[in-house]
Amino acid sequence: MNFYLIDDDKNVRNILKIIITEQQLGSVCGGAGNAQDALEDISALTPDIIIVDLLMPDTDGITLVGQMRPLLPDAAFIMLSQVTSKDMVASAYEAGVEFFIQKPINSIEVESVIRKIQENLSMRRTMNRIQNIFLEDTVPKQPAKASPAAAPASSSSSVLANILQRLGIIGVLGSKDIITVAEYMTANHVHLDDTTLHELCSRFCDSPKSMEQRIRRAAAAGLVNLAHLGIEDYSNEIFTEYSNTLYNFEQVRKEMDFIRGRSDKHGNVKIKNFLNALTAYSQR
């Protein structure tokens, strides 16, 4: 991955470049000591990861990240700072910063943070590629002379499959179980407030506990994928659609914080709400 370094202290930029090069973390494609030079460079260089100082003479790092993010929506931002103000840190995260590196610079911390960022960035890009493939596969190909009246109505199965594709879990073990249960709930007007998932699973297999576990794991995988989408683009259509319907928004935010390294706790899935919401989608 390519790095761009922004700090008014040239020595800091040199130290970061040495760490990145010697630890084989990637290549430094450029650097700047002020915001104006940085903004002129990044559009042409399109770095993957940008490390920016919080306090600079002309423009503070938070403002600069806010200006850069629309230009490089796929890039990741790391901030250098001696400031520990909670309000300042919160503002930086809202602007798009994913991790902080404290000054004075420690090579072990730099390497650890960069490797986490690279892992998150690679996962997000992989998820985007998978998502695009699924969306391409689900775009209907219309016949040359088909009329609107001739188009068959979507079954609940296809609606459910499309939602799971958008969440990136259609190929996950447990996705078929989710569709089976949700279809049954739709056809029989079942609501999980009136029964349990275990009881529903017992209708379809001799090992309902295993089926229930597969469903819970698949739904949890969807939460992780949704959190990655939210980190990359808070206005992503799939994120905004499902983060407060299939999932609880606060739990999605909790998972986002875990991915960013801001928390050691994952978000949770309320499986009853998840399945009830799925059946509501299939009945639209």
Q: Say yes or no: 99 and 179 in one domain.
A: no
pLDDT in tens, 90-127: 888 888 888 889 888 999 999 999 998 988 888 877 77
Say if 133 falls within a structural domain.
no
Across the range 79-97, mean pLDDT stands at 82
Instruction: Kindly report the length of the chain.
Output: 284
SS3 140: coil
Domain final position from 98, 122, 146: 122
Say if 49 falls within a structural domain.
yes
pLDDT in tens, 46-76: 899 999 998 887 888 999 999 998 888 889 9
Q: Name the residue with higher pLDDT: 16 or 91.
A: 16
Locate 46 and state its tokens.
């399109």
Q: Say yes or no: 110 and 186 in one domain.
A: no
Are the C-beta atoms of residues 43 and 112 closer than 8 Å to each other? no
Say if 131 falls within a structural domain.
no
Say if 138 falls within a structural domain.
no
Q: What share of the chain is helix, strand, coil (3-state, %, to 5)?
A: 55, 10, 35
> In which residue are the tokens 């520990």 written?
84
Q: Say yes or no: 165 and 63 in one domain.
A: no
Say if 150 falls within a structural domain.
no
Q: Say yes or no: 89 and 186 in one domain.
A: no
Locate 154 and state its tokens.
């979507």
Q: Say yes or no: 12 and 118 in one domain.
A: yes
Q: Say yes or no: 193 and 272 in one domain.
A: yes
Q: Say yes or no: 199 and 271 in one domain.
A: yes
**Structural domains of the chain, count:** 2
Q: Say yes or no: 263 and 190 in one domain.
A: yes
pLDDT at site 20: 95
pLDDT in tens, 221-277: 899 888 888 887 777 888 888 988 899 888 998 888 888 888 888 888 989 889 988
Which residue range(s) make up the domain with 246? 155-282
Which alpha helices (DSSP H) does 85-207 contain, by range? 86-95, 107-138, 156-167, 175-187, 197-201
SS3 52: strand
Q: Say yes or no: 278 and 161 in one domain.
A: yes
Say if 141 falls within a structural domain.
no
Q: Say yes or no: 117 and 200 in one domain.
A: no
Domain final position from 76, 106, 122: 122
Rounded-to-integer distance, Cα 19 and Cα 73, Å:
26
Rounded-to-integer distance, Cα 284 and Cα 220, Å:
24
Nearest to 273 by CA among 182, 188, 199: 182
Are the C-beta atoms of residues 38 and 32 closer than 8 Å to each other? yes
Nearest to 134 by CA among 181, 167, 172: 167
Rounded-to-integer distance, Cα 279 and Cα 127, Å:
25
Q: Say yes or no: 104 and 33 in one domain.
A: yes
Say if 146 falls within a structural domain.
no
CB atoms within 10 A of CB 211: 24
Helix H or strand E encompassing 30: strand 27-32
Q: Say yes or no: 38 and 111 in one domain.
A: yes
56: domain CATH number is 3.40.50.2300
Domain final position from 66, 98, 122: 122
Rounded-to-integer distance, Cα 6 and Cα 21, Å:
17
CB atoms within 10 A of CB 251: 17
pLDDT band at 149 (very low <50, low <70, confident <90, very high): very low
Enter the pTM of the model. 0.49
SS3 33: coil
Rounded-to-integer distance, Cα 107 and Cα 138, Å:
46
Sign of CA dihedral 116, 81, 66, 94: positive
Say if 224 falls within a structural domain.
yes
